Amino acid sequence: MDYELIGIIVLWTFLFGYVIVASIDFGAGFFNFYSAATGRKDHINSIIQRYLSPVWEVTNVFLVFFFVGIVGFFPTTAYYYGTALLIPGSISIILLAIRGSYYAFHHYGDKGSLWYQFLYGATGLLIPASLSVVLTLSEGGFIQADNGDVWLDYGALFTSTYSWAVVFLAIVSVLFISACFLTVYAAKANDDNAFTLLRKYALFWSGPTILASFLVFWALKVHNLEHFANTLDLSWMFILSLLCFIGAVYLIWKKKYMDWSFVLVIFQFGFAFYGYGASHMPYLLYPYLTVSDAVVNSVMAQALVWAFIAGLLVLLPSVYLLLRLFLFDKDYVQGKK
């Protein structure tokens, strides 16, 4: 049994879970600040706070599982990525700390502080931008290794079209996913003012999202032709992603089957995310590191596979119960409790 393949699929699933859950959280922070700055706070503030209250504490669990797992399954990744990501990773940690402190200040400090809301909204865009650097680096050309030394070529990173295309996609995707979910949430709450405003946000950010997606494909062709060729072999996954996107936007535009609109958004990013991951195989880092080269010994790999599958089987039902008992409880979503 190819435990390295099973391991990377399980870890990729954890990362996908983080992308969806964290995107809703990150985007909500930005919309919360934007609405406050433009005098529309009363329209959506209650919707956003009812979502964040029971969810923010579990958002980073998916990310922790992924990073612990990637180092556990593929220890060599720490050698290549550890040094190269020292500065970008430190920035992400600082931003996550600032974002986490918002909740304490919000609950125990000045709830109306626009400064706190600005930090909350800004980190919601900067964190996905900083974390997206990992995917950029994996394409090769940025991490250099020579005689046992590993370093990050910042000049190549900051002047790369592909690097900025990925950052652009990360930011607009966060805003689109979050706006779509909050639109559905407002519809369930029967909050017409919030629904109207959030629906406009969802439709607006759909354009930049699809534009950024095509831009990333073009930039990938220029930067890593081998990976781009692999994506063409899996083009059916990206076509299905596009169809799901069209379906989601259509339902939101028509104000029909709102639950299904967000399901389609999940499938949209699911097909694209797993299509990207599959086309990236077997490389963890072009051209230095492959899955088979980096995997831990077979005994440890087998134990880790079962441990993380068990973790996934515990985490997913827990998230479902959280959604069922709190977020989508009829009385809670309408602010009655």
Task: State pLDDT tens for residues 294-330.
Answer: 677 777 777 888 888 888 788 777 777 766 666 665 5
Strands 149-152, 143-146: pairing is antiparallel
- Given a cut of 70, is residue 89 above it in pLDDT? yes
Q: Which residues of 219-250 are buried (b: 16+ CB within 10 A; e: fewer)?
A: bbeebbeebbebbeebeebbebbeebbebbbe
What's the pLDDT at 78?
78
Rounded to a whole number of angstroms, the distance between the first and last alpha carbons of the chain is 50
Q: Enumerate the domain spans of the chain.
A: 3-333
Whole-Å CA distances, 107 to 61, 78, 114, 331: 22, 37, 14, 22
Helix H or strand E segment including 289:
strand 289-290
Write down the pLDDT at residue 274. 95
Distance CA 30, CA 205 (A): 13
Mean pLDDT score across all residues of the chain: 82
Q: Are strands 283-285 and 143-146 parallel, antiparallel or unpaired?
A: unpaired
- Rama region for 257: left / alpha / beta (φ>0; ψ in -120 to 50; rest): left
Q: What is the pLDDT of residues 273-296, one digit of tens each?
A: 999 999 998 888 888 888 877 677
Average the pLDDT over 67-72 and give the result.
81
Q: In angstroms, rounded to a whole number, what is the distance separating the alpha carbons of residues 10 and 3? A: 10
- Higher pLDDT among residues 239 and 55, named by residue: 239
- What phi and psi values does residue 160 have, to the nearest 5 degrees? -85, 130
For residues 322 and 54, the answer to whether their CB atoms sit within 8 Å is yes
pTM: 0.89
